[in-house]
A and B are shown apart, each in its own frame.
Chain A
Amino acid sequence: MSAHTRARTAHSKLPRTVAEFMAYAYSMEVEASERYAELAEQMSAHNNREVAELFAKLSRIEGKHRDQIAARMGWTSPPDVEVFRWTTPEGPETTDYGELHYLMQPHHALRLAEHNEQQAVEFFERFAAARVPAAVQAAAREMAEEEREHVRLIREWLARVPPLEPGWDEDPDPPAGAD
């Protein structure tokens, strides 16, 4: 697997209210949850059940974060967020499709999740330091702290999965074999 090298993620517009800011956070969680679900399907299609289950679990976790934001804001329906908003390719917690390998192991998947959570920390820290109303800065600091906690949890999880095995990507019947 190549190193994850996604560019820094930013938003094209600074939020003026806490509700607007939380709509960005909500959108980030939605995108992350949906992407993890997609990745689970990809792994399932290639019979990599262990990683498929892991991605599905990550999708559920991000879905819970999404619901927590909605509950905190008292939203009964999704906030009005535009589809094309990120100034960088995708949201900070969204895994790049190109990072997958059909033989990848749970270790890889959790490394990607760790990277995503770390990007989310940086994303919120930038809002906390930006020229936005004090209430938005406070909410951003709180969200950054939550994401730091997620980083810690992912690292704990990583410590529980087997380390990478040498030759993890060796396939006795590789698709690229041209006979």
Chain B
Amino acid sequence: MNEIACRADPDAAVTRGPNDYKSDVKPVWCPGCGDFGVVNALAKAMARMALDPKDVAVVSGIGCSSRIPAYMSSYGFHGVHGRALAAGTGLKVARPDLTVIVTGGDGDGYSIGGNHFLHACRRNVDMTYIVMDNHVYGMTKGQASPTTEPDWDSKLSPDGTGLREFQPLVVALATGANFIARGFTGDPNGLAALIEQAVRNPGFSFLEVLSPCVTFRPEQKEWKKMVRPDEFSPTADVPRAARRLLRDTGFDLGVLYAGERPPYAPRGPRAVRAPADLEARFVL
């Protein structure tokens, strides 16, 4: 359970500040990128929870935002495209003592990894999923992603895709995520508080983070004027959260839903005296 991994150790001799959670690898993101705010917030949240970096694993897929594991001093795993949640799930089930934080972007998480997203919500394994949503595939030079607005006109999708956007919070709520929130990279301190709540909440926590791409979506610099901090009021009531989403502007921030569903816990191994006993269980 995360409560154990996050507990501050009163006997610990080491007091870590946010910078202790950052590695010596310097980010190569474009100056102005929102993802810098996530590294900042994640480090602050880890310091706030007094986590030992050796007890934390940051797992990612592919994309600009998926570089994050390299920038943190904790353990990290830079996996394959769209499969970050699969890797994170396996890790958490095998090592429940670890605090597992999965990171990625909207393309990685909602398109290539969309199926994993649904089932990670459903399974409710005790881990946190941070999606840096910039409504574009930045690393591959600006293709429309699942959350791109239908009328976003670009060289790669002239006149827009005409496709309705994917609704991550709606999907997360419908498929069983136990914690759902939205943050903004322009508010690293507020985002750190949301990350802390997400990690501390048992089960699968989903945190959608609006993270502007200044290179391919420079108009997103206006997001800081559009976000509505603390607009959501946390509830453990799914129908109430669903009704609230009906009037979501896409820029409403805060905790939408904090549920109490017990996290998935694998049953302990049965006592097996010999390989033959195990084989017998699988005989058709």
Interface positions of A (Cβ within 8 A of B): 2, 5, 34, 38-39, 41-46, 48, 83-86, 89-90, 96-102, 104, 175-178
Q: How far is the CA of A102 from the CA of B214 in the complex (A)?
A: 10
Q: Is the CB of A83 within 8 A of B141?
A: no
Q: Is the CB of A45 within 8 A of B27?
A: yes
Residues of B within 8 A of A175 (CB): 30, 141, 215
Residues of A within 8 A of B141 (CB): 175-178
Q: Is the CB of B26 within 8 A of A97?
A: no
Q: How far is the CA of A176 from the CA of B154 in the complex (A)?
A: 10
Q: Is the CB of A100 within 8 A of B48?
A: no
Q: How far is the CA of A99 from the CA of B186 in the complex (A)?
A: 10
- For the residues of B in contact with A, the DSSP-based class is loop
Q: How far is the CA of A43 from the CA of B29 in the complex (A)?
A: 10
B186-230: which have CB < 8 Å to A?
A: 186-190, 192-193, 212, 214-216, 221, 224-225
Q: How far is the CA of A5 from the CA of B186 in the complex (A)?
A: 12
The 7 closest A-B pairs by CB, nearest first: A100-B31, A89-B187, A178-B155, A100-B32, A42-B31, A97-B36, A102-B31
Q: At the interface, yes or no: B272 with Cβ under 8 Å from chain A?
A: no
Given A42-B36, A102-B31, residue A97 in contact with residue B185 (CB < 8 A): yes
Q: Is the CB of A84 within 8 A of B48?
A: yes
Q: At the interface, yes or no: B47 with Cβ under 8 Å from chain A?
A: yes
Residues of B within 8 A of A45 (CB): 26-28
Q: Is the CB of B224 within 8 A of A96?
A: yes
**Nearest neighbor of A174 in chain B, beta-carbon distance:** B215
Q: Is the CB of A97 within 8 A of B47?
A: no
Q: How far is the CA of A34 from the CA of B19 in the complex (A)?
A: 9
Q: Interface 1/0s, chain B 18-46, versus A by CB < 8 A?
A: 11000000111111111011001000100
Q: How far is the CA of A96 from the CA of B187 in the complex (A)?
A: 9
Q: At the interface, yes or no: B142 with Cβ under 8 Å from chain A?
A: yes
Contact among A34, A38, A101, A178 with B36 in the assembled complex (CB-CB below 8 Å): A38
Residues of A within 8 A of B163 (CB): none
Residues of B within 8 A of A102 (CB): 30-32
Contact among A39, A42, A98 with B186 in the assembled complex (CB-CB below 8 Å): A98
Q: At the interface, yes or no: B156 with Cβ under 8 Å from chain A?
A: yes
Residues of B within 8 A of A39 (CB): 31
Q: How far is the CA of A43 from the CA of B30 in the complex (A)?
A: 9
Q: Is the CB of A101 within 8 A of B186?
A: no
Given A98-B221, A101-B32, A178-B156, residue A83 in contact with residue B18 (CB < 8 A): yes
Residues of B within 8 A of A41 (CB): 26-27
Residues of B within 8 A of A46 (CB): 30-31
B181 to chain A minimum Cβ distance, whole angstroms, is 15
B194 to chain A minimum Cβ distance, whole angstroms, is 11
